[in-house]
Structure 1
Amino acid sequence: MAARIHVLVFPCGSEIGLEIHAALRQAKDIVLHGASSVDDHGEFVYRRYRRIAADTRSGDLVAELNALIDEWGIDLVVPAHDDVIPLLAAQRGRLRAAAAVPDAGLAMLCRDKRATYARLRPLGIVPADAGPVGGNYPLFAKPAIGQGSRGAERVDDAHRHRQLLEAGEPYVFSEYLPGEEYTVDCLSAADGRLLHAAPRCRTRTRNGISVRTEPADVPDLVAMAAAIAGELRLRGAWFFQARRDVHGVPRLLEVAPRIAGSMALSRMRGVNFALLHVYAYLGRPFSVLPLDHAVQLDRALGNRYRTGLHYRRVYLDLDDTLILDGKVNPIIAALLYQWSAADIEVVLLTRHRACPRQTLEQHRLCPALFARIVHLRDGSAKSAAIAGDLPAIFIDDAFSERREVREATGIPVFDLDAVEQLLDTRS
């Protein structure tokens, strides 16, 4: 078996870093590592995680990344924020591992929309310049260096136009584009050849992030992807955003040489952009096998937990807990295998009317997942079956059972609405 690829994601708690984790956590040839310069969600997601002090604005980020590269044997650093890309590209000679970034000139070109537009204007895909103050309104203004929709706005009069010009931050002022907005997720080979372009509608956005998106069959955007790829020769995963003008013609908004958080949509259709991004930057051969079924992605805040619980045994109820509404409770089932892998003993503690073993087998649950099956048929208290030799927890849907066990033993007791805190999905 070939050596596994050690990948370091920075900053790992961004939406980009979370998608990279979701895409790579089950890849058999990848070992994931994460680092961030702030306290973020990455520490709840990446099992191999480190908080560092330096960021793109302070400290020597490359030196701190090099320390992790040496400690963890990193093969590839994957940036998960736009500001990190030009920094790593410029410092590539100092970095002691490969980085999934284009060359320094191309990295800066993609970071500055003024440079992007200047380079790609001959392709006929760039929006028209807005012209001087007092010209035609509305127009569209966006910071020349930025990401998402931060600072972007429609400008309706000369007063606001002049305010933005005098704000001290460079802006791009262009024609107002009233049509539908798209993101096109693209994948290129190591030599820059475009292999796959997947347009999607940005149906609903929040803070510049597409939180509802679905595939769009728009050949003119695929043609735009081919034109951009031919000019920039980007490698691996990249994307661009476009919006239609008053005539329905798509115009470029920006190009980014990185993973996009909503590339999860293509992952559901057979194309793992993050994995193929790694392969492209390490020169490994790959091919693309996209699917074409309908799928819609909608994103919302999700919860992960870090607890102070320490336990080596679980006492678990059967009825309305492990078996709920006549079906196996999938969260409890996942926990059973998690506990088995961690050598945490599970005791099935039940008042089930029938034979518990037969019921487990009827639901295709292996009795060997349990260290013991305690079948209470005499009405005795469940606390009487709980030993004190190991730190333990108790899970039962019945409040009366939880109260009795808590009062008699003092161990933590949980209803079904609280067991998700016990899941460990870090990779």
Structure 2
Amino acid sequence: MGLKSQAGGNAEMMKSRILIVPIGSGMAMSALKDLSKADDLEIIVADSDPVTPGMNMGFPSFVVPSIEDEEFFPVLEEIIVREKIDLVIPCLDTFLIPFARRRADIERLGAKVMTSPTEALELSRDKWEMYTRLEGKVPQPKSSIDPSIIDELRYPIFIKPRDGSGSINAFKVENREEAEFYLSRISNPIIQEYLPGREYTVDCIADMNGRLLSASPRLRIRTKSGICTISKTVSNALLEEAAGKITEEIPVNGPFFFQAKEDESGLPKLTEINIRLAGTMALTTRAGVNIPLTAVRIFLGQKTPPIGRTKKGLYLARYWEEIYFSETQLESISSTALENAHA
């Protein structure tokens, strides 16, 4: 961010240009809300689906190929150059590692990329490796990748994929017969003790040296398909301490969050780590710590104001909201976005 001279000797603040991709994800829309209020940022969005709401909200929008397409990065990099992008924010789990691996190429074009190192991202995707790295440092459920453990654990137990996300193929299992059924159908399963207590998410941010700047716990009161729909900010010293242990062991830069659930004694145990923005970080922003905006400042090398503590006892409840757009608007995005990118 700097100053740009204008005729007559006046100066105005130069805006940093932020590209959010794909804008169709929940975390992208949450980040869009938190970042679009900043006067010194200009938001540009991209997605492979021109109908997704974020592509039709008045921001400069670009249709790009699917990330599985070999043309994805060449097209995106043309947009970065043409639009003079300062920072790219990948906003979907499947985008993170490809962007981390492409980071040096994108930075040569003049744009930063909001990702942690590839090592950290790969570790967060492999839950078994993550548990192994943090064993003895952060409380975690008794776990195994050896199916024979089903004879040692007291039912109910919990079975989930080693590399899953969003509660997909994650099941509470009541008996051995059910365990055998799910183990035969889930690829690379982890078998765990079942945690019956309250569930938490802890929204965190670290600087470019991996130093923890903030950890803000919130209670997951209600979820749907792994997405929190009702949440409340809370105090929990054990969870805040766990955040510090995680950053000591895993090279994290910028935003991340982890989830934990209480065992029968009330001890919160780590269940997963996601090294990215979270959709429900909107609650943490409203409670006083704008993690998306702070992360932008960090990755752009800008000075960040001191981070305080979040207000406790603040609730978030989600609801549907509609937007409307015309066929003409949609055709304009679909037909001209790539042409503009190649202009």
TM-score bracket relative to the smaller structure: 0.7 to 0.9
Q: Secondary structure at the match of 1:21?
A: helix
Counterpart position of 1:148: 166
Q: Aligned match of 2:37 in 26, 45, 58? A: 26
Amino acid aligned to 2:206: S
Q: Deviations over 1:245-304 (max 9, x none)?
A: 122111111111111111111111221111111112222221213452642110011111
Q: Deviations over 1:161-198 (max 9, x none)?
A: 23333326222221111110000001222211111111
Could you tell me how far apart the structure 2 residues matched to 1:308 and 1:63 are? 28
Q: Secondary structure at the match of 1:246?
A: coil
Q: Aligned match of 2:117 in 103, 110, 122? A: 103
Counterpart position of 2:336: none
Could you tell me how far apart the structure 1 residues matched to 2:227 and 2:104 are? 33
Q: Aligned match of 1:41 in 33, 45, 53? A: 53
Structure 1 pair 102/309, CA: closer, same or farther in 2 (3 Å)? closer
Give the CA RMSD over aligned residues. Answer: 2.0
Structure 1 pair 66/227, CA: closer, same or farther in 2 (3 Å)? same
Structure 1 residue ranges without an equivalent (≥5)? 311-427
**More divergent stretch after superposition (8-17 vs 60-69):** 60-69
Could you tell me how far apart the structure 1 residues matched to 2:130 and 2:300 are? 26
Counterpart position of 1:50: 62
Q: How does 1:275-290 map to 2 (within 5 A)?
A: 275-286=293-304, 287-290=306-309
Counterpart position of 1:298: 317
Asked whether the 8 Å contact 2:261–2:269 carries over to 1, the reply is yes
Could you tell me how far apart the structure 2 residues matched to 1:191 and 1:116 are? 20
Identity rate of aligned residues, in percent?
30
Could you tell me how far apart the structure 2 residues matched to 1:142 and 1:75 are? 39
Amino acid aligned to 2:308: L
Counterpart position of 2:249: 231
Asked whether the 8 Å contact 1:21–1:46 carries over to 2, the reply is no
Could you tell me how far apart the structure 1 residues matched to 2:239 and 2:312 are? 19
Structure 1 pair 229/60, CA: closer, same or farther in 2 (3 Å)? same
Q: Aligned match of 1:93 in 99, 104, 118? A: 104
Structure 1 pair 65/259, CA: closer, same or farther in 2 (3 Å)? same
Structure with more relative contact order (C-alpha pairs < 8 Å, separation 6 or more): 2
Counterpart position of 2:10: none
Question: Shift of residue 25 of structure 1?
Answer: 0.6
Amino acid aligned to 2:151: G
Question: Shift of residue 99 of structure 1?
Answer: 1.0
Aligned length: 309
Q: How does 1:244-323 map to 2 (within 5 A)?
A: 244-286=262-304, 287-292=306-311, 294-307=313-326
Q: Deviations over 1:57-84 (max 9, x none)?
A: 3334322221211121111111111111
Q: Secondary structure at the match of 2:270?
A: strand
**TM-score with structure 1 setting the length:** 0.68
**TM-score with structure 2 setting the length:** 0.84
Amino acid aligned to 1:305: Y
Counterpart position of 1:337: none
Could you tell me how far apart the structure 2 residues matched to 1:204 and 1:168 are? 25
Counterpart position of 2:334: none
Amino acid aligned to 2:48: S
Structure 1 pair 120/45, CA: closer, same or farther in 2 (3 Å)? farther
Question: Shift of residue 307 of structure 1?
Answer: 3.6
Is it true that 1:126 corresponds to 2:140 in the alignment? yes
Counterpart position of 2:152: 135
Could you tell me how far apart the structure 2 residues matched to 1:218 and 1:151 are? 29
Counterpart position of 2:77: 66
Structure 2 residue ranges without an equivalent (≥5)? 4-12, 330-343
Question: Shift of residue 153 of structure 1?
Answer: 1.0
Amino acid aligned to 1:83: T
Amino acid aligned to 1:31: E
Q: Aligned match of 1:12 in 23, 26, 29? A: 23
